[in-house]
Chains A and B, each alone.
Chain A
Amino acid sequence: MNAMTKLVRLHVDGVAIEAPVGASVAAAIAQVMLRFGLRPGGDARAPLCGMGVCFECRVRIDSVEHQRACMTIVRENMRVETTAEPAHG
Chain B
Amino acid sequence: MAEHYDVLVVGAGPAGLAAADAAASHGARVGLIDAQATLGGQVWRHDVRSDAPRVAHSAFRAVESRTNIVHFTRTQVVAAAPDRLLVEQEGEARSLGYASLILACGARELLLPFPGWTLPGVFGAGGAQALVKQGWPIAGKRIVIAGSGPLLLAAAATLRKHGASVVAIYEQASAKQLAAFAAALWRWPQKATQAIALRAALAGVPYRAGAFVRAAHGDAQLRSIEVQVGKNIQTVECDYLAIGYGLVPNVELAQLLGCALDADGRHPRIVVDEEQRTSIANIYAAGEVCGIGGRDTARIEGAIAGHAAAGVRQAAIKLHSARRKARRFSVLLETRFALDPRIRELVTDDTIVCRCENVAWSALRDFADARAAKLQTRCGMGACQGRICGTALAELGRFARGGLRPPIFPARLATLADADFAANPTDPFIDSNQENFA
10 new A-B contacts at CB < 8 Å, known A20-B135, A54-B388, A70-B130: A3-B49, A4-B48, A22-B46, A22-B48, A24-B136, A46-B120, A49-B109, A56-B355, A58-B383, A73-B37
A78 to chain B, nearest CB (A): 13
Task: Say yes or no for B257: interface residue by CB 8 A criterion.
Answer: no
CA distance A47 to B106 in the complex (A): 20
B interface residue numbers (CB < 8 A to A): 35-38, 42, 46, 48-49, 74, 91, 108-109, 111, 118, 120-124, 126-131, 134-137, 220-221, 352, 355-358, 382-384, 387-388, 410, 436-437
Given A45-B118, A47-B123, check contact A53 B358 (CB 8 Å): no
A/B interface sample: 25 pairs, CB < 8 A = A2-B49, A3-B48, A4-B48, A24-B131, A26-B134, A27-B131, A27-B137, A30-B131, A35-B220, A36-B120, A44-B120, A48-B124, A49-B111, A50-B126, A50-B127, A50-B129, A52-B36, A53-B384, A53-B387, A55-B382, A66-B383, A66-B410, A70-B130, A71-B35, A71-B74
Kindly identify, within residues 1 to 56 of chain A, every residue whose CB is under 8 Å from any CB belonging to chain B. 2-4, 19-24, 26-28, 30-31, 34-36, 39-41, 43-56
**A4, A19, A56, A66: which has the most chain B beta carbons within 10 Å?**
A56
The reply to whether B108 and A66 form a contact with Cβ atoms under 8 Å apart is no
| Contact residues of A: prevailing secondary structure | loop
The reply to whether A54 and B120 form a contact with Cβ atoms under 8 Å apart is no
CA distance A3 to B50 in the complex (A): 8
Partner of B131, one of A26, A31, A41, A44: A26
CA distance A35 to B131 in the complex (A): 15
Q: Output the nearest chain A residue to B122 by Cβ-Cβ distance.
A: A48
Q: Which residues of B contact A21 (CB under 8 A)?
A: 48
Q: Which residues of A contact B384 (CB under 8 A)?
A: 53-56
Given A19-B135, A30-B136, check contact A50 B121 (CB 8 Å): no
Q: Which residues of B contact A52 (CB under 8 A)?
A: 35-36
**B48, B74, B127, B134: which has the most chain A beta carbons within 10 Å?**
B134
Q: Which residues of B contact A39 (CB under 8 A)?
A: 118, 352, 355-356, 358
Given A27-B136, A27-B137, A73-B37, check contact A49 B358 (CB 8 Å): no
